[in-house]
Chains A and B, each alone.
Chain A
């Protein structure tokens, strides 16, 4: 089966199967619906017909009773009716009844009556012998016994009679017994009416043509005025069981084949009062005729659709299969080796996948074609390239030769610029260059086969060489400066780079040592470090200088001052005259000044070098102040100065006691020099502010002008230069004071106004917390 057929079938399946299913479902639905509707219609028709029939039967019975009542005034009895005169009267009465009934029929019974007018009224005796009748032909005849039995049971009978014969034509006969005053039955009156109103033909009036409604009695006889339908023998249907069921009281709605051999839908209802069954039938052809119409129309539409779909399917399958066929043909051509086949090129912008496939194939084809061409070109090119590369190879070989030459040149250059030494893995020298020989002063023959230890100067320790060997044996490069010893015992320094030359297995096979002679550089370095050492030494000497100076300058003063003191000790060493005592005092005081000057100079130097050290100890302020007072008392006495000290009791200080003394001595001595000769006053006070200590030294001297206060802590500064000698200071006292106070992390300042005296303040911070904690611990 080719693709086209498959596609067509596929299309059909897709389009038709759902339609067929849909149709089947809808037709089934419609048929059910139609059946139900028809059934309903039949049912309602039957109901209305039943009403008609009952109405008819009721009215006729009532009429019969009315007629019977008209006999009452005649006061008849069994005997009287044998009287011909009476019979004449009865005859007249009956005739009058018929006339009246027919004339009133329109008013009284409507159109029912027109179709079922009273045919005959007759009067019979008790035994059924007709005595009077509107149909004179019946008089003298006896009502057939069969007929009579029926009437006596139901008051009416579907049928009529003529003479002695029961006829089944279109008659219903109603009868009523007539009684005398005593109640004895003396005769019967009967109305024989035509059956038009309730026979099948008329029952079906007003229904659709194909509907038929008829009545069936309990013996399954169809009630009909149709001469063809024989009353006595006609079974309406062979399916008597339906009738049986109907008479059993069931409502029946069934499809069956009726007496005419047609398929019908029948509805059967039981009229209980009349002991009848009413049947409505409609042929199924009739019921389903709209569906047949619909089916026909659908079939037409389906056929048209089928044709359309087939056409469309064929068209589409062709649009798909044709290009494929074309492609396959092209491919076959290509397989045969014909690469120059042409394809119909489609628009590139086409959305059609097949067009794109075709284009793709076309491109592929073009590519193959161009590749074919390129290949041929390529072979040519490659051949040319091969020739070229041969040429290049030759050139490269030349280049390699040249590089080898370069390498040997490089080696030469290296040989010329550095000392090169190569050893094998065991450290035996296998190569040295001329420069190395020159520097080491060994000949090449002496060096080859030897260990580099031959030039060891033993300047470096074993660790140095161990480190070097470990580095290069690991395959790394070692760099360092080595001091070597030449053959003649002189030393030479080299900056060395020792690299292992690795073998194929990655392990070192040889070591190449490239040395640069740095002997001159090293000599310079050595000189430099020596110079540095000298500088450091001189620094040290400078430090030692102070102690040396102290010693050397103070030593001559010992005998000078000592002998002065001894000479003045007249008790021990004999008396002096006043001049001699004056001279000795002058020598002594100048020696003392010299001593102080030396001490101050050394202190200043220490401060400048920042080498002053402090000895911090804990001491009692009271004891300290007592000593201060005692030591300065002779100065105060000489000038009769009022010297007062104020300080808190029981206070311990943590500072350099001697340096503090030095400061206070200095300040007090200054004050002593400047207070007036009379009423001089110096007051030393100690105050505590938040554990910090403030010393103040107050005097009532001339004071210091503001503009000079900032200069007062400068070296050799004297406010009044002319007073230098008079005061005998060194000009260094306050400088040292300031240096010491700052060394103790304190502050020194002054408050002064000319004429109001001067107060110096010394602030010493409280010992740091750390110190306190240590002490507590």
Chain B
């Protein structure tokens, strides 16, 4: 099954460009290596503000966004994008440390442009499903 997945992605999603926004370098490193191995083009940033700038500058096929970041959280980014009316153009997959969907996360998921929420620790096969669906 994994084989099928990998082949599928190598062929079809070759051109997909993923932006990874997380303040933790270990996580961004893991995700970057994993996605690269799976054939995705990706850009990593550990600074949420930088992430926001990049989103504004360039169109990404998928944005992986950590919710819990110091100073400027994933929620702030989403709210900024919403204010600037470019949220609905995005495809954002958010990571939440909470095991269960809170009202806050639920509200985010209702917004157009927010694709899915993955709980930490992230199951990599779940991540792949979320990106490609």
| Interface, chain A (partner B; CB < 8 A) | 547, 550-551, 554-563, 565-566, 569, 571-573, 591, 595, 599, 602-603, 613, 615, 658-659, 662
Complex CA distance for A591 and B30, rounded to whole angstroms: 16
- State which of A558, A560, A599, A658 has its C-beta within 8 Å of the C-beta of B101: A658
Complex CA distance for A638 and B120, rounded to whole angstroms: 26
CB<8 Å pairs between A and B, sample of 15: A551-B120, A554-B97, A555-B24, A557-B120, A557-B121, A558-B24, A559-B26, A565-B125, A566-B37, A571-B2, A571-B3, A595-B121, A599-B99, A615-B102, A662-B100
Complex CA distance for A569 and B31, rounded to whole angstroms: 14
Contacts of B80 in A (CB 8 A): none
Contacts of A662 in B (CB 8 A): 100
Q: Are A565 and B124 in contact (CB under 8 A)?
A: yes
Contacts of A599 in B (CB 8 A): 99
A-B contacts at CB below 8 angstroms, number: 76
Complex CA distance for A1 and B100, rounded to whole angstroms: 131
A175 to chain B, nearest CB (A): 174
Question: Which residue, of B27, B103, B120, has the highest number of chain A Cβ atoms within 10 A?
Answer: B120
Q: Are A555 and B103 in contact (CB under 8 A)?
A: no
Complex CA distance for A566 and B122, rounded to whole angstroms: 12
Chain A interface, >50% SS class: helix
Query: Which chain A residue has the least Cβ–Cβ distance from B38?
Result: A572
Q: Are B122 and A562 in contact (CB under 8 A)?
A: yes
Q: List 18 other contacts, CB 8 Å, given A558-B122, A571-B6, A572-B2.
A: A547-B68, A554-B121, A557-B120, A558-B24, A558-B27, A558-B121, A559-B30, A560-B121, A561-B121, A562-B30, A566-B34, A571-B2, A572-B6, A572-B37, A572-B38, A591-B121, A602-B99, A613-B102
Q: Are A658 and B122 in contact (CB under 8 A)?
A: no
- State which of A554, A572, A613, A659 has its C-beta within 8 Å of the C-beta of B120: A554
Contacts of B6 in A (CB 8 A): 571-572
Contacts of B12 in A (CB 8 A): none
Q: Are B98 and A547 in contact (CB under 8 A)?
A: yes
Contacts of A557 in B (CB 8 A): 120-121
- Asked if B59 is at the interface (CB within 8 A of a chain A CB), the reply is no
Q: Are B123 and A565 in contact (CB under 8 A)?
A: yes
Measured as residues with beta carbon below 8 angstroms from the partner, the interface class of chain B is 20 to 34
| Interface, chain B (partner A; CB < 8 A) | 2-3, 6, 24, 26-27, 29-31, 33-34, 37-38, 68, 97-103, 106, 120-125
Query: Which chain A residue has the least Cβ–Cβ distance from B31?
Result: A562
Query: Which chain A residue has the least Cβ–Cβ distance from B23?
Result: A555
Q: Are B121 and A562 in contact (CB under 8 A)?
A: yes
Complex CA distance for A184 and B34, rounded to whole angstroms: 210
Interface pairs A-B: 8 shortest CB-CB: A551-B97, A557-B121, A554-B120, A559-B26, A562-B30, A550-B97, A561-B121, A551-B68
Question: Which residue, of B29, B98, B125, has the highest number of chain A Cβ atoms within 10 A?
Answer: B98
B116 to chain A, nearest CB (A): 15
Contacts of B102 in A (CB 8 A): 613, 615
- State which of A563, A569, A603 has its C-beta within 8 Å of the C-beta of B30: A563
Q: Are A562 and B98 in contact (CB under 8 A)?
A: no
Complex CA distance for A555 and B2, rounded to whole angstroms: 25
B91 to chain A, nearest CB (A): 21
Complex CA distance for A571 and B8, rounded to whole angstroms: 14
Contacts of B123 in A (CB 8 A): 561, 565
Given contacts A558-B26, A562-B124, contact A569 B2 (CB under 8 A): yes
Q: Are A555 and B97 in contact (CB under 8 A)?
A: yes
Contacts of B37 in A (CB 8 A): 566, 572-573
Query: Which chain A residue has the least Cβ–Cβ distance from B37?
Result: A572
Contacts of B101 in A (CB 8 A): 615, 658
Given contacts A562-B31, A562-B34, contact A547 B122 (CB under 8 A): no
Query: Which chain B residue has the least Cβ–Cβ distance from A560?
Result: B121
Query: Which chain A residue has the least Cβ–Cβ distance from B29?
Result: A559
A758 to chain B, nearest CB (A): 26
Query: Which chain A residue has the least Cβ–Cβ distance from B105?
Result: A615
Contacts of B3 in A (CB 8 A): 571
Q: Are B121 and A615 in contact (CB under 8 A)?
A: no
Query: Which chain B residue has the least Cβ–Cβ distance from A553?
Result: B97
Q: Are B120 and A555 in contact (CB under 8 A)?
A: yes
- State which of B27, B98, B124 has its C-beta within 8 Å of the C-beta of A555: B27
B66 to chain A, nearest CB (A): 9
Q: Are B103 and A615 in contact (CB under 8 A)?
A: yes
Query: Which chain B residue has the least Cβ–Cβ distance from A659?
Result: B100
Query: Which chain A residue has the least Cβ–Cβ distance from B27?
Result: A558
Given contacts A557-B121, A562-B121, contact A613 B97 (CB under 8 A): no
Contacts of A659 in B (CB 8 A): 100
Q: Are B103 and A558 in contact (CB under 8 A)?
A: no
Q: Are A550 and B99 in contact (CB under 8 A)?
A: yes
Contacts of A556 in B (CB 8 A): 26
